[in-house]
Chains A and B, each alone.
Chain A
């Protein structure tokens, strides 16, 4: 339940971790804002945070919420609940719904459905009409509603001239004083055509048609060239190969206005997972080689990756009970991303949180209300995480409407205990409150 106006809540006994550093402090919240940070504070309600860290809420740049069109797999409500349980206070819905989010009407619908959700839900808009890659979508009317991120995710924009024009046109769009970002799912559709997993030793052995790493890298290369040509900001989604990561890092060093994300599955799983032909391991971009996983981890450690995204992609059980090459690509991520990052990456906690919270908040342009330092006057979008708690991923216990996690049975360390959204505890002691 929403706290009545004026009620103060204290997060008691935790260690505050944000972009400014770490300190042991209680955090007092009232009217949606942080109102006090310091030792021995009190409030009318107390949420125990002893032994936990108190951090800015996480921000996901890549969630498929499936609404409208595929509500049997996920809805905005269930996806947002999964997000809240995973520590997120803000998620960006991808526009590959049915119909696609490619004009103002659908933007309004998604934002409206998101208003009651236990997590702030923003939506990306499609770059092209129907994500068909043929005609520029009305980016301006969507930007006027606050859409800052545009992508045809699920597919890349294959036509180089169209992508160039989209970038030039987007350079002239602003909302509330900020420019927009074009984001790309990099995949050359002809070179990748018919490929259902990474082309390599395993695809050769398993007889599953593969798609080469170069299908991703060619589009990364092209869009870096177009970013140079147009000067428009580009965000590279779910980079998965050593080559992609290296190219984007080099482009940043050269001063190009680019950012990028990687997913948790691309630093925790490899194409060897496909040996049992379980479509739960089918995802796009596909799971890659050990060397790619090592490269992604190194890039996360040396700061050349801006953020970790989930690419949360729910699919119904029946959709995933098809043959490997007939099943849709995608896996769940919102409820496991934080724990996987904490468990699998050897990063200081603050660095892990930077990748999951304040850096994606900056890329998305929501740093005023999400991911910012925990100081009086800031929006109270917070998550409380018990770093020590070990838990085993149980697909049937997930809040998502779907069950397609590739981590069933895996033991992880670190679990969200509470999540606070605009001052309201939406998760208390691991239980969603709405």
Chain B
């Protein structure tokens, strides 16, 4: 894998996905250490360019970068020149001029990470941390990792993605990643919450959760937003919950070993009942935990100087790779 940027899951070959998951294993191990920190990205500078509020994704990236000993900076839109009318391109070039190795971009508009990557050429690595309704590739990677961790494999599983697929960058990236790894994906939503044209997508579609629920190995619930009612997409949250909410009654229809996932933040009582969210089959907290290790793997692959050691087809000795330099305590290096 010799990628400059991580923009879309579709840019990753199956081997790339598998390599990232193996590398994530190594970083998950680092995260379990007493001092969960390695010097892999010491001297590298990563900036968070977040044009959209995001606590979880940003903290997760921040934690990942710190565990790799990278320096980080935050570009905060609310207190920045953006409010003074600076163009997106000028902002990006200004940040680059300060000397950064990676830019992690979150933006409410689809495609912004592509534009940023185009303006920066090969000088800086760009990671898409969510663009509009389009993609959220690190979420898809952590979802694949979590499924593999809990179910042993992604291949051959029947995964149902339930809810507002139309507006979901998580769903678009997950469909690409899950199907690439050999899962069978069903999108389950009222027609108004599906993208207008999905002919050709490698998925099945159902409007009836109860009909497909007993067959699913993974039930992936999407966040249901209140404003969808004012867009006439659903009559009410109450009706949505009645038809598509994962209630305790519905959980009874699930296979014993089936798991429940959610990208967060949850609306307890809407797409998922409070009790279901806390069941052992719910892996939502695992997803958050794995997110840090996955993002360590992504940042390491894009920015790490030892990347050549993980290229090619040779089996990956991730542990040797990571333990070679001794873990350091922050501030202890001169």
Q: Chain B residues near A212: list those with CB within 8 A.
A: 196
Min CB gap A116→B, angstroms: 33
Tell me the chain B residues, 177-213 only, with Cβ under 8 Å from chain A. 195-200
The answer to whether B110 and A206 have CB atoms under 8 Å apart is yes
Decide yes or no: A209 and B88 within 8 Å by CB, A277-B115, A325-B109, A325-B110 being known contacts: no
> CB of A318 within 8 A of chain B?
yes
State in angstroms the CA–CA spacing of A318 and B92 once bound together: 13
* B89 CB to nearest A CB, Å: 4
Residue contact A207 to B131, C-beta cutoff 8 Å: yes
> Is A201 an interface residue when CB atoms closer than 8 A count as contact?
yes
A199 lies within 8 A of B115 (CB) = no
| A201 near B197: Cβ-Cβ < 8 Å | yes
Say whether, besides A199-B196, A201-B199, A323-B115, A318 and B134 are in contact (CB < 8 Å): no
Which chain B residue lies CB-closest to A289? B197
Asked if B134 contacts A323 (CB within 8 A), the reply is: no
Contact status of A323 and B196, CB under 8 A, knowing A206-B134, A207-B132: no
Q: How far is the CA of A201 from the CA of B172 in the complex (A)?
A: 13
Q: Quick check: A203 and B87 within 8 Å, CB to CB?
A: no
Q: Does A204 contact B (CB under 8 A)?
A: yes
Shortest distance from the beta carbon of A369 to any chain B beta carbon, whole Å: 43
* In the complex, A276 has a CB within 8 A of chain B: yes
A88 located at the interface, meaning its Cβ lies under 8 Å from any Cβ of chain B in the complex: no
**How does the 8 Å CB contact mask read for A203-230 relative to B, with 1 for contact and 0 for none?**
1111111101000000000000000000
Q: Say yes or no: is A326 at the interface (Cβ < 8 Å to chain B).
A: yes
Selected contact of A208 from candidates B89, B90, B111, B198, CB within 8 Å:
B111
Verify if A200 is at the interface (C-beta below 8 Å from B).
yes
Known: A204-B196, A206-B134, A207-B169. A323 touches B89 (CB 8 A): no
In the assembly, what is the distance between CA of A389 and CA of B90, in Å?
A: 38
User: Nearest chain B CB to A54's CB is how many angstroms away?
Assistant: 43
| B138 shortest CB reach to chain A, Å | 16
| A212, chain B: closest CB distance, angstroms | 7
- A322 in contact (CB, < 8 A): yes
Q: Does A321 contact B (CB under 8 A)?
A: yes
Known: A323-B88, A323-B109. A203 touches B114 (CB 8 A): no
Which residues of chain A (168-206) have a CB below 8 Å from chain B? Answer: 199-201, 203-206
Nearest A residue to B109 via CB reads A323
Interface residue tally on A, bucketed by range: 20 to 34
Known: A204-B196, A277-B111. A325 touches B87 (CB 8 A): no
Instruction: Tell me if B133 is interfacial: C-beta within 8 Å of chain A.
Output: yes
Determine chain A's interface SS by DSSP, over half rule: loop
Tell me if B111 and A200 are in contact (CB < 8 A). no
Q: Let me know if B109 and A324 touch, CB within 8 A.
A: yes
Q: Find the residue from B107, B108, B196, B200 having the highest chain A CB count within 10 A.
A: B196
- B318 is an interface residue with CB less than 8 A from chain A: no
Chain A 252-291, CB-CB to B under 8 Å as 1, else 0, gives 0000000000000000000000001110000000000000
| Nearest Cβ on chain A to B159's Cβ, whole angstroms | 19
B321 CB within 8 Å of chain A: no
- Once the chains are docked, how many angstroms separate the CA of A278 from the CA of B112? 9
> Residues of B contacting A207 with CB < 8 Å?
110-111, 131-135, 169, 172
Closest A residue to B86 by CB, please name it. A318
Asked if residues A323 and B87 are in contact (CB atoms below 8 Å), the reply is no
Q: How far, in Å, is A74 (CB) from chain B's closest CB?
A: 19
- Report the minimal beta-carbon distance from A355 to chain B, rounded to whole angstroms: 32
**B44 → chain A, closest Cβ, in Å?**
27
Complex-state Cα separation, A205 to B135, whole angstroms: 10
B274-317 CB contacts (< 8 Å) to partner A: none
Contact A199 B114, beta carbon cutoff 8 Å: no
Quick one: given A321-B88, A325-B132, are A200 and B107 in contact (CB under 8 Å)? no
B134: A residues at CB distance < 8 A: 206-208
Q: Could you tell me which residues of chain B, from 110 to 132, have a CB within 8 Å of some CB in chain A?
A: 110-112, 114-115, 118, 131-132
Please tell me if the beta carbons of A210 and B196 are within 8 angstroms of each other in the complex: yes
A127 to B140: give the CA distance in the assembly, Å. 51
Q: Using known A-B contacts A207-B133, A207-B172, A318-B87, determine if residue A201 contacts B200 with beta carbons closer than 8 Å.
A: yes
Contacts of B112 in A (CB 8 A): 277, 323
* B31 CB, min distance to chain A CBs, angstroms: 31
Q: Which residues of B line the A interface, CB within 8 A?
A: 87-90, 107-112, 114-115, 118, 131-135, 169, 172, 195-200
26 A-B contacts (beta carbon < 8 Å): A201-B197, A203-B196, A204-B195, A204-B196, A205-B195, A206-B110, A207-B110, A207-B131, A207-B133, A207-B135, A208-B134, A212-B196, A276-B111, A277-B111, A277-B112, A277-B114, A278-B115, A278-B118, A318-B89, A321-B88, A323-B109, A323-B110, A323-B111, A323-B115, A324-B109, A325-B110
Not counting A208-B110, A323-B111, A325-B132, a sample of 5 additional A-B residue pairs whose C-beta atoms are within 8 angstroms of each other reads A201-B200, A207-B110, A207-B133, A276-B111, A318-B87
Pairs A-B, 10 closest by C-beta atoms: A277-B111, A207-B134, A323-B109, A204-B195, A207-B133, A207-B110, A321-B89, A201-B197, A204-B197, A277-B114
